[in-house]
Amino acid sequence: MEIQEKNKFVEFVKRFGFVIAAALVLLIVGLTFGIMALTNGGQTPSVPVVNKPLEFSMPMQNASILKDFSSTELQENVTLNQWEAHLSIDFASENTAVYSVLDGTIESITSSYLHGNVVTIKHDEGFVSQYSSLGKDLLVKVGDKVNAGQKIGDADSTASGETDMGNHLHFTLSKDGVKVDPNNYLDLQNK
């Protein structure tokens, strides 16, 4: 009888040994994770996140606003003799230096008849700033990293679409691909 019981046990192990081994592995893994959760209070270790708000600098110092942002009211473009929405701010100052409003990377430098020399900077949190009507002597090149307040060039009259304004900066700000009102981000209290 003893031999027959041993054969039944051996036969049982041969038949269900894989299932038993898999169940033991799952039990061990489950116990390991359970113990880890208990010793860690049930939480995964956290890494401190620094959420510092973006601080915008002014694109020009002591500047006046020649033409403000307007997405709803049409404004006259004297040079082109037409009425249009103005999704930018035009600045002018005796000091023609133009500065990056945030830390970022020079994404492109282009030149066109209507907009003149244009520098586009990509920033954190989906912001992109664009500086149009700049002079030809730019201080940056594509791929450069720039800091907020770093000079990138000088305002000029290279934008043929706004020659009536003389030397000025045509400043555009976008967030997540949509043009936004710079008044909501820049400190323009002394317009």
pLDDT tier at 191 (50, 70, 90 boundaries)?
very low
> 94 and 44 in one domain?
no
pLDDT tier at 49 (50, 70, 90 boundaries)?
low
For residue 59, is it within any domain? no
> 132 and 105 in one domain?
yes
Domain count within the chain: 2
CA atoms of 117 and 136, how far apart (whole Å): 7
Residue 78 has pLDDT above 70, yes or no: yes
CA atoms of 24 and 164, how far apart (whole Å): 83
> 69 and 47 in one domain?
no
CA atoms of 184 and 65, how far apart (whole Å): 15
For residue 58, is it within any domain? no
Q: Whole-number mean pLDDT of the chain?
A: 84
Of 128 and 34, which is predicted with more confidence? 128
- Rounded to 5 degrees, φ, ψ at 179 are -65, 130
Could you tell me the CATH number of the domain that includes residue 124? 2.70.70.10
> 84 and 47 in one domain?
no
For residue 175, is it within any domain? yes
Of the candidate ranges 11-20, 53-62, 130-139, the one whose mean pLDDT is the lowest: 11-20
CA atoms of 135 and 117, how far apart (whole Å): 7
Query: 3-state SS string over 39-91?
Result: HCCCCCCCCCCCCCCCCCCCCCCCCEEEECCEEEEEEEECCCCEEEEECCEEE
For residue 166, is it within any domain? yes
Write out pLDDT tens, residues 120-149: 999 999 999 999 999 999 999 999 999 999
- Tell me which residue range forms the domain holding 106: 64-184
